[in-house]
Each structure stands twice: as structure tokens, then as C-alpha cells.
């Protein structure tokens, strides 16, 4: 990768919470216009990688090289949002302009910018609604709108499709695809190997360490997945794309008392 295209690079990063290391010797880089997915089991350190990239968590060892003046926006997991908090869509989106103005109320230019970003995401008419009164897809769009209002070059998203149905997953994926096509670099974490990860151009398989990095076709192999998840998986092919399935024959070995041939 050319140095001018690089937005951020983690080099040998080790960090954690308290005395426990969550990431060990991690190398990850993100270039302009890239769309990267970080996959791995729960506790693998996916969210921590995003925090290190965002700069909200300093590494204990290693270094983070960030392009000077890089604008990064972070969209948290939708499940972590306090939905009873009293904010309207407009108030929520305006949080992105936290440092640009001292006065509490929005300037005329800010109101126009909010309208434009909400219109771009198709939720302009919801600006006075409370965030809890929206559908799952609309809620996700509000937080993406907040991120976009800061005009970022790099968008970080933590589990954008966690706990959503298939239709909403498609909606979010298409939206992110569209933003990426317009030049926005995106890094997201996901548990969803078939629904999301296989559709991305580049994956990082993580389990405290980087196990593999490359295109889905390159990294979604039974060996890499076993090392990443600690579980046996098979990789099939459907329509030219990899499809990951659990290896059921190994599961029965761990179910004491289940007669052979019975449904688990």
C-alpha cells in the first residue's frame, strides 16, 4: 500500500483492560476507500481494535500510525444505546458538531447540514421524532447520519447488523456499500460470516491476534476459521461466494447421553 493511501495502521499493538491483554501484537492497516470487516468470536478484541483505531484507547505496546488530520467517525453497537434518553433525531445527529460551536442551539448552517444528511439517508421527516419511536433500520440510519455529519474519511461501525432481521441487514449493507462507493473508508466488526463478511472486499480474522487477512475467498478456509473460532467449520461455495457452515458431526461428540442418530 502506498503511504499516501494509508489512513491508519496498527503496528504490533498490544493492549487490554486492567492486567488482561485483549489484543496481542496486532497489525491492521486501512487505506483510503477500503471496506474492511473484522470477524472473530466474542471476546476476540474486535471492538477494542475499533477503539484503538478511533484513538480512544491507547496501546500498551506497539504504535498506531494515523494520517495527520484524519477524520474518524464511530457508530456504536445499537444495543448499547440508551433508548429512553430524551433526544430527538436532530439533537442526536447534531452531537457530531460537538466542537464546532459553543452555543447550545444549532446554527442555520448546521440545521441545513443536518437536513441534507438526513435526506441523504431518507429519514429527513423524522428529525423531530424521539429516537425510540423509530424502526430498527431508521435507528441505525440516525447513528450513521450522526457519523456522516462530521464528514469523516473513515467510518468505524461496531456490529452494525447485530440482532437485526434479514431485510434490515440487506438495507444496512446496501447503505454502507453506497457510502463506500462514494469514497468513504469503512471498518466494521461482525459476527455474521455469511450475511455480511462474505460480501466484503477484505476481512481480518481476529482472536486476540490477527489470524489471517485477505479477501473472503482467501481467508474463509476451514483451517483459518478453526484457528479463529476454535470450532470446526466447513466452507462451501454458492454462486461463486464462500458459505460457512458448522460441522455438525463434531457436535455430537460433546453431547453425553444423546443416543446415536437422534436429533440434537
Partner 1 sequence: MIDGLLAPFEFEFFRNGLAVATLAGGLCGLIGVYVVLKGMSYIGHGLSHAIFGGFAASALLGVNFLLGAGAWGVASALMINAVTRRRVIGSDAAIGVITTASFALGLALFAFFGGAGANFDAALFGSILGVGTEDVVAIAAVSLLAGTLIFLRYRALLFTTFDPEVADASGVNTARMDALLMLVLAGSILATMQVLGVTLIAAALVIPATVARMLTNSFSRMLWMAATIGVVCGFVGMNLSYHLDVQSGPTIVLVAATMFAAVFMVTGATGRRRTAALARRGVAPA
Provide the binding-site residues for partner 1, judged by CB under 8 A. 17-18, 51, 54-56, 72-76, 80-82, 85-88, 91-92, 94-99, 101-105, 130, 132-134, 150, 156
- Residue whose cell numbers read 472473530: 40
Which distant-in-sequence residues (6+ apart) come within 8 Å of 223 by Cβ? none
CB 26 within 8 A of CB 10: yes
CA dihedral 132, 133, 136, 137 (to 10 degrees): -120
- Nearer residue to partner 1 within complex by CB, 86 or 261: 86
Shortest distance in whole angstroms from residue 137 CB to partner 1: 14
Shortest distance in whole angstroms from residue 264 CB to partner 1: 37
- Nearer residue to partner 1 within complex by CB, 67 or 97: 97
Burial-class residue 209 by CB neighbours within 10 Å (0-12, 13-18, 19+).
Answer: middle
- Nearer residue to partner 1 within complex by CB, 62 or 76: 76
Cell digits of residue 176 = 454502507
**DSSP string covering 135-185:** -HHHHHHHHHHHHHHT--SEEEEESTTTT--HHHHHHHHHHHHHHHHTT-E
| Biggest CA-to-CA distance, the chain | 70
**DSSP string covering 80-112:** GS-TTS--BHHHHHHGGGTTT-SSSSPPHHHHH
Shortest distance in whole angstroms from residue 84 CB to partner 1: 8
Shortest distance in whole angstroms from residue 86 CB to partner 1: 5
C-alpha distances in angstroms, 121 versus 38, 91, 107, 179?
25, 16, 21, 10
- Nearer residue to partner 1 within complex by CB, 17 or 261: 17
Shortest distance in whole angstroms from residue 60 CB to partner 1: 16
Shortest distance in whole angstroms from residue 103 CB to partner 1: 8
- Nearer residue to partner 1 within complex by CB, 154 or 225: 154
- Nearer residue to partner 1 within complex by CB, 98 or 264: 98
Amino acid at each position: 500500500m502506498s503511504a499516501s493511501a494509508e489512513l491508519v495502521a496498527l503496528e504490533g499493538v498490544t493492549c487490554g483492560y486492567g492486567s488482561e491483554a485483549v489484543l496481542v501484537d496486532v497489525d491492521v492497516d486501512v487505506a483510503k476507500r477500503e471496506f474492511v470487516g473484522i470477524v472473530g468470536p466474542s471476546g476476540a478484541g474486535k471492538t477494542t481494535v475499533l477503539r484503538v483505531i478511533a484513538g480512544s484507547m491507547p496501546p500498551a505496546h506497539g504504535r498506531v500510525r494515523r494520517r495527520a488530520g484524519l477524520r474518524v467517525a464511530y457508530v456504536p453497537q445499537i444495543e448499547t444505546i440508551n433508548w429512553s434518553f430524551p433526544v430527538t433525531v436532530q439533537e442526536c445527529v447534531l452531537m457530531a458538531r460537538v466542537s464546532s460551536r459553543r452555543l447550545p442551539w444549532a446554527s442555520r448552517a448546521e440545521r441545513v447540514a443536518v437536513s441534507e444528511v438526513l435526506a441523504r439517508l431518507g429519514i429527513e421527516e423524522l428529525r423531530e421524532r424521539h429516537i425510540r419511536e423509530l424502526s430498527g433500520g431508521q435507528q441505525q440510519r440516525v447513528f450513521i447520519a450522526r457519523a456522516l455529519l462530521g464528514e469523516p474519511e473513515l467510518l468505524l461501525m461496531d456490529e452494525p447488523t447485530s440482532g437485526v432481521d434479514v431485510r434490515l441487514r440487506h438495507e444496512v449493507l446496501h447503505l454502507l456499500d453506497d457510502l463506500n462507493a462514494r469514497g468513504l473508508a469503512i471498518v466494521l466488526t461482525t459476527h455474521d460470516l455469511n450475511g455480511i463478511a462474505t460480501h466484503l472486499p477484505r476481512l481480518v480474522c481476529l482472536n486476540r491476534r490477527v489470524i489471517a487477512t485477505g479477501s473472503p475467498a482467501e481467508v474463509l478456509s476451514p483451517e483459518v476459521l478453526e484457528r479463529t473460532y476454535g470450532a470446526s467449520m466447513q466452507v462451501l461455495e454458492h454462486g461463486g461466494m464462500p458459505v460457512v457452515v458448522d460441522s455438525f458431526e463434531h457436535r455430537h461428540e460433546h453431547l453425553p447421553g444423546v443416543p446415536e442418530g437422534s436429533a440434537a
